[in-house]
């Protein structure tokens, strides 16, 4: 299973863009990159996912490099409520073990006033 | 996003007793449900994967006779911690993925805080 590497922690000023990097150099061609976040003592919240192309939704943007070995999650205007642990996950294909999500240590993002 | 509900949100039980945690997908049918455990200051650890109507697949090191998983319908899975001990105290979280269609992401419940005294 492809492993991901993320910085342990990051700070971001409120109102600025938060750019969270993730390395997944062993990713296979059919494996998706998923991002979730977990606010203290809650279940993880889905943010966004992608395969090759950049993706954007109401929460964030996902930029995947052309070689797919790394990606960046962008929160365009961070708020204090975005303070959380952000997990970058390479999802196991559905046909193999049901598409399970294996969580790494994630990045603890602190948004400061 | 889709809603996954866990019950109870928290439970305290005596050592040696069993505790059942329910996980329901409220607005979609879940082919697959996943159970995780999370200790303080640590990441989520996958315990098992269950598919409706079949036996769960446990991750290495997880005792299947201690953590009983039942996935009897497309909207309900249960995790029973049998003969609980203080070291089983943890945050248990379930996740569910849809049967079909374009929704491929998994959604998580709010978690269940288990304390064994």
CB contact under 8 A, B104 and A105: no
Distance of residue B75 Cα from the nearest chain A Cα, in angstroms: 17
Nearest CA in chain A to B93: A43
Chain B interface residues facing chain A, Cβ-Cβ under 8 Å? 1, 4, 6, 31-32, 34, 36, 43-46, 49, 51, 57, 91, 93, 95, 97, 104-111, 113
Q: Report d(CA A28, CA A19) in Å as an integer.
A: 24
A73 φ/ψ angles, rounded to the nearest 5 degrees: -95, 130
Q: Could you read off the pLDDT of A78-111 as tens digits, one per residue? A: 999 999 999 999 987 776 677 888 899 999 999 9
Cis peptide before B17 (omega within 30 of 0): no
Q: How far is CA A103 from the centre of its chain?
A: 11
Choose among A34, A38, A42: nearest Cβ to B105: A34
Residue A75 confidence (pLDDT)? 98
Q: Report d(CA A105, CA A36) in Å as an integer.
A: 12
Task: Please name the residues in contact with B105: beta carbons below 8 A apart, sequence gap of 6 or more.
Answer: A34, A46, A49, B1, B97
Answer yes or no: is pLDDT of B100 > 90.
Answer: no
Answer yes or no: is pLDDT of B101 > 80.
Answer: no
Residue B28 confidence (pLDDT)? 86
Q: Could you read off the pLDDT of B1-55 as tens digits, one per residue? A: 679 999 999 999 999 999 999 999 998 888 889 999 999 999 999 999 998 888 8
Using DSSP, state whether A21 is helix, strand or coil.
strand
CB contact under 8 A, A103 and B107: no
| Token pair in block for residue B24 | 């329901």
Reported confidence tier of residue B103, pLDDT bands at 50, 70, 90: low
Interface with B, mutate which of A43, A46, A95 (most B CBs under 10 A): A43
């Amino acid at each position: 299973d492809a492993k991901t590497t993320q910085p342990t922690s990051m700070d971001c000023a409120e109102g600025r863009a938060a750019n969270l990097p993730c390395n997944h150099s062993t990713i296979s061609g059919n494996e998706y990159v998923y991002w979730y976040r977990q606010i203290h003592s809650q279940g993880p919240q889905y943010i966004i996912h992608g395969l090759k192309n950049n993706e954007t939704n109401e929460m964030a943007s996902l930029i995947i490099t052309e070689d797919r070995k790394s990606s960046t999650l962008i929160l365009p205007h961070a708020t204090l409520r975005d303070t959380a642990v952000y997990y970058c996950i390479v999802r196991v294909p559905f046909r193999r073990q049901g598409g399970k999500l294996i969580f790494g240590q994630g990045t603890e993002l602190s948004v400061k006033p | 996003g889709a809603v996954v509900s866990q019950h109870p949100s928290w439970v305290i039980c005596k050592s040696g007793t069993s505790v059942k945690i329910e996980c329901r997908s409220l607005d979609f049918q879940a082919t697959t449900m996943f159970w995780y455990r999370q200790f303080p200051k640590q990441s989520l650890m996958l315990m098992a994967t269950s598919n409706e109507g079949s036996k769960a697949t446990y991750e290495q090191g997880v005792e299947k006779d201690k953590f009983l998983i039942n996935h009897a319908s497309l909207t309900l899975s249960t995790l029973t911690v049998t003969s609980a001990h203080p070291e089983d105290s943890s945050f248990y979280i379930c996740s569910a993925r849809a049967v079909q269609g374009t929704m491929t992401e998994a959604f998580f419940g709010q978690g269940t805080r288990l304390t064994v005294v």
